[in-house]
Amino acid sequence: MGRAREVVRGRGVTPGQGQGKALVSTQPFMFAHGVEPQSGNVIDMRSDMLGENIKGKVLIFPFGKGSTTGSAWFLETIRQGNGPSAVINVETEPIIASAIVMARFLYGIAIPLVDRLEKDITDLVTEDATVQVNGDTGEVTIVS
Residues that bind another protein (CB under 8 A): 13-14, 32-33, 37, 43-45, 65-73, 75-76, 78-79, 92, 94-95, 97-99, 101-102, 105-106, 115
Query: Considering the complex, what minimum distance in angstroms separates the CB of residue 55 from another protein?
Result: 16
Q: Catalogue the active-site residues.
A: 67
Q: How far is the CB of 80 from another protein (least distance, A)?
A: 8
Closest distance of CB 5 from another protein, Å? 28
Q: Which is nearer to another protein, 53 or 130 (CB)?
A: 53
3-state secondary structure 64-82: ECCCCCHHHHHHHHHHCCC
CA distance 102 to 58: 19
For residues 9 and 92, the answer to whether their CB atoms sit within 8 Å is no
| CB of 54 or CB of 95, closer to another protein | 95
Closest separation in Å from C-beta 100 to another protein:
9
Nearer to another protein, 97 or 131 (CB): 97
User: CB under 8 Å, gap of 24 or more: what pairs does 105-110 form?
Assistant: 106/75, 106/79, 107/78, 107/79, 109/78, 109/83, 110/14, 110/15, 110/16, 110/17, 110/135
